[in-house]
Amino acid sequence: MDQGQGREHFLGSGGITCAFLRQTFPDGLPSGFGIAEVGVWQGDTSVEFAGLLPEDGFLHLFDYESSVQTVKQRLADAGFINAAAFGCSTKERDSYNWPLMRLLAGNTSPIYDYVYLDGAHTWDVDGLAFFLLDRLLKPGGYMDFDDYGWSWHCHRRKIPG
């Protein structure tokens, strides 16, 4: 097995993005560093992000309400209290774009240093999310996208019919 391929498999998506942050900021993330994580699933990447943040850093979680609340509690149980949950319902026209829009309307300056977009994998949701997040990203900040090789076509073949 190729070492690079094995390392990617071992790290997973969140591990790769956290490795990027560790490499980019070898002395640790700067004071006040803010991360937006869009799509949290069970919070494995969230826990990794929380471990990298300085004491005054913050992590904003965007996903379904039940997911972000579960992950926020997981982080609190691990001693990380600077996480905020921005949940949405499972209704068809609801998404994390609504809380992103409210954050944009309520902040006169960008607030994030790093954005990790591992969201819905659809153009109608994540196309808009990109533009909202870009407006919330500080100049010189980083936007990271997950699942470059993911597709609905491949995903549907794996679902039993």
Contacts of 123 (CB under 8 A, 6+ apart): none
Give the residue numbers spanning the domain of 138: 30-147
For the beta carbon of residue 79, count every other beta carbon within 10 angstroms: 7
Question: Per the domain annotation, does 11 fall within a domain?
Answer: no
At 102, phi and psi to the nearest 5?
-65, -40
Question: Per the domain annotation, does 76 fall within a domain?
Answer: yes
Structure tokens at 46: 């969230």
Residue with tokens 């969140």: 14
Question: Per the domain annotation, does 59 fall within a domain?
Answer: yes
At 64, phi and psi to the nearest 5?
-60, 145
Question: Per the domain annotation, does 99 fall within a domain?
Answer: yes
Per the structure, the count of domains in the chain is: 1
Question: Which strand ranges, in their side-by-side order, compose the sheet holding 112-117?
Answer: 83-88, 58-64, 34-38, 112-117, 137-145
Question: Per the domain annotation, does 44 fall within a domain?
Answer: yes
Helices (H) and strands (E) in the chain, counts: 6, 5
For residue 66, what pLDDT is reported?
96
Q: How confident is the model at residue 43 (pLDDT cuts 50, 70, 90)?
A: very high
Half-sphere exposure of 110 (CA within 13 A, CB side): 20
CATH number of domain containing 83: 3.40.50.150
Answering whether pTM is above 0.85, one says no
Mean pLDDT of the chain: 84
Model confidence pLDDT, tens digit, residues 109-155? 999 999 998 866 666 777 888 999 999 999 999 998 875 565 555 55
Structure tokens at 124: 């109608």
Model confidence pLDDT, tens digit, residues 76-105? 999 999 999 999 898 888 888 899 999 999
Of residues 88 and 49, the one with the higher pLDDT is: 49
